[in-house]
Amino acid sequence: MIPAHFLTTNSAEDKSQVAVIPRGNQGTPCGEKALLMAPKLRGYHCSTAVHCAIETGFRHFDTAYYYENEKEVGEALRTQINMGNISRENIFLTTKLWNTHHDPRDVRRICQKQLELLGFSYIDLYLMHFPVGYKNVCDEILRPMSGDQIQTVEIDYLDTWRAMEDLVKLGMVRSIGLSNFNMEQIQRLIQCSSSKPVVNQVEIWPGFLQKDLVDYCRYNGIVVTAFSPLGQPNRENHCPVYFFSEGMKRLVKKYRRSAGQIVLRYLIDYGVVPIPKAANPLHIRENLNIFDFKLDDADTRLLRGIKPKSRIVKYEIVKDHMFYPFELLNENNEKPEVKEDRTEEPNFPNNFNEDEEENEDNDENKIN
């Protein structure tokens, strides 16, 4: 088990994200400084974002084999270490096992390849990116297609997990966790394995809080990381409604913070670790600057009362697979809170573009 203040993750079938979390001083998994950021970058832009994040104070970097930026992330981190700005011991590095490598015979080999790409001798946290496995044609083909269908395999994620447990014994990774798993799948894994995951990363935002799953993970000591924490706001279309509502504008004026900062603060108080996207240095700093204010109880209740919405990332291209995780969930498990005064309730808005380089498409075939 690793210190709880290090625990978090990120993911997305978007090939270019890197997430970062500042190291907290407390041993609580979702307390102060529990935050991830995910600029959608590769190459030089990815390296620049990592350098900026280190200098801003972030210490947890989350990447994945699927993002194809592990080399750039590792190079930037090693440069900062060589410059004396940080030590390896103060970095918490997360990456993920991609769907094409679920065969237990592939797990150790691909993890070793990822270590070589990153340039480090161990990974702090290694996540299974998705419970559904794909056919492994070769390491370079990440989405093996047959016509318009992805070629999947029926490898049991329990067997994949047991191979990941061996990585811990070998010292290649310090801890292991999950991404995009539902409650039933986590329960099955806990019952049938010698260790339980330290993290589960799932879609969570003010219109889709997944309270049952969050409560279950909290009860079992599993940190929940929230991707799409703002609900993928889109400034052009002004959706989701809550993000651009008059209620949100009132909160922005009251706290003198951006809508994004208010939502991130709310989700941290809710008990999850949010993953906001950021590439611009100003946005990176803004996302970190959310620990010196707190929403009052009335405003927290207003945010909690947002009408429940549907899941954004459904990934229905594999919905017929036996381990497809989302159809097993009650997606509208949050009920609006009844309020005596409805006039102050934010008309809570669905797709957020802070600038052109951070545009996020609404592709439901994307894994986050």
Question: What is the set of active-site residues?
Answer: 67
Query: How far apart, in whole angstroms, are the C-alpha atoms of residue 65 and residue 81?
Result: 22
Other Cβ atoms less than 10 A from the Cβ of 315: the count is 21
Are the C-beta atoms of residues 334 and 208 closer than 8 Å to each other? Answer: yes
Q: Is 159 within 8 Å of 176 (Cβ atoms)?
A: no
Q: How far apart are CA 368 and CA 366, in angstroms?
A: 6
Give the integer Cα–Cα distance in Å for 276 and 49: 14
Rg (CA), the chain: 19
On whether the CB atoms of residues 35 and 14 are closer than 8 A, the answer is: no
91 neighbors 119 (Cβ within 8 angstroms):
no
Beta strands in the chain (DSSP E): 19-22, 58-62, 92-97, 123-128, 133-134, 145-146, 149-150, 152-153, 173-179, 199-203, 223-227, 273-274
